């Protein structure tokens, strides 16, 4: 083989090696590029998973805060109701003990001889004391039930007797035997009353 032919052969071999080197480098770059894309995709998936987990934790914490707030609000409302109930009915026992005193003062005024000048100042004093007492207890929720002429209501009245009456509508309170009382809407003593019923009609016996 001549020198010229050997030179040509060496150049061809060198070119082939250069092409192989370029192809190998391109393949390596492609592999590296694919690896980076895979890494980026994996990192994105990891971040998305972490974000979903964080969102779930945030929602869970928000729910816990809302539940805690609702529990506190319910507790506050119950406490206010219990305090209000205790305030309204704290005087219940005291009012029950006071009612006989009011009854006796009313009876004393009713039975007194209003025309007797000797006892007139005393009667006026008792009447003024009774009015002052009633005004005071009314400020604390004690209300008198005096249903004369009203329709009978079993929630507030206790029927002691039922009488026929042509002057009253049936089921009407025609006499109050003892006044009743309620404390802030709760009946502590019903009014004792006489209730009317329809009068029996005359039966025509003529032939």
Give 51-96 pLDDT, tens digit per residue.
888 888 888 888 888 888 888 888 888 888 888 777 767 788 888 8
pLDDT of residue 2: 61
Q: Give the pLDDT of residue 101.
A: 92
**Two structure tokens written together for 174:** 């025609």
Indicate whether 6 pLDDT > 80: no
- pLDDT at residue 25 in the model: 58
> Last residue of a domain, which of 65, 89, 113?
89
| Same-domain check for residues 53 and 1 | yes
**pLDDT, tens digit, for every residue of 135-146?**
998 988 899 999
Q: Could you tell me the residue range of the domain that residue 46 belongs to?
A: 1-89
pLDDT of res. 66: 85
- pLDDT tens-digit series, residues 161-205: 999 988 889 999 999 999 999 998 889 999 999 999 988 764 443
**Whether residues 98 and 56 fall in one domain:** no
Give the domain-ending residue among 29, 54, 89. Answer: 89
Model pLDDT for residues 116-136, shown as the tens digit of each residue: 888 888 889 999 999 999 999
- Two tokens, residue 177: 């035997």
In a domain, residue 202? The reply is: no
Whether pTM exceeds 0.75: no
Last residue of a domain, one of 38, 55, 89: 89
Supply the CATH number for residue 119's domain. 2.30.22.10
52 to each of 41, 45, 148, 149, 202, how far by Cα in Å? 16, 11, 74, 74, 91
Give the strand order in the sheet containing 191-197. 157-164, 191-197, 173-178
Q: What is the pLDDT of residue 8?
A: 57
């Amino acid at each position: 083989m001549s020198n010229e032919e050997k030179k040509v052969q060496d150049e061809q071999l060198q070119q082939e090696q250069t092409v192989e080197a370029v192809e190998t480098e391109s393949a390596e770059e492609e592999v590296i590029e694919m690896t980076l894309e895979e890494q980026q995709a994996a990192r994105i998936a990891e971040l998305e998973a972490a974000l979903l987990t964080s969102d779930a934790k945030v929602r869970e914490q928000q729910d816990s805060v809302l539940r805690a707030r609702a529990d506190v609000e319910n507790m506050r409302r119950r406490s206010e109701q219990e305090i209000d109930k205790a305030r309204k009915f704290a005087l219940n026992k005291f009012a029950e003990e006071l009612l006989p005193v009011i009854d006796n003062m009313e009876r004393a005024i009713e039975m007194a001889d209003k025309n007797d000048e000797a006892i007139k100042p005393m009667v006026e004093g008792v009447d003024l004391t009774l009015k002052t007492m009633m005004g005071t207890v009314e400020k604390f929720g004690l209300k008198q039930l005096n249903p004369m002429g009203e329709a009978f209501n079993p929630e507030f009245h206790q029927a002691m007797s039922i009488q026929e009456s042509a002057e009253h509508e049936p089921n009407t309170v025609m006499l109050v035997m003892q006044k009743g009382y309620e404390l802030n809407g709760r009946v502590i003593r019903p009014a004792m009353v006489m209730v009317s019923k329809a009068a029996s009609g005359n039966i025509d016996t003529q032939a």
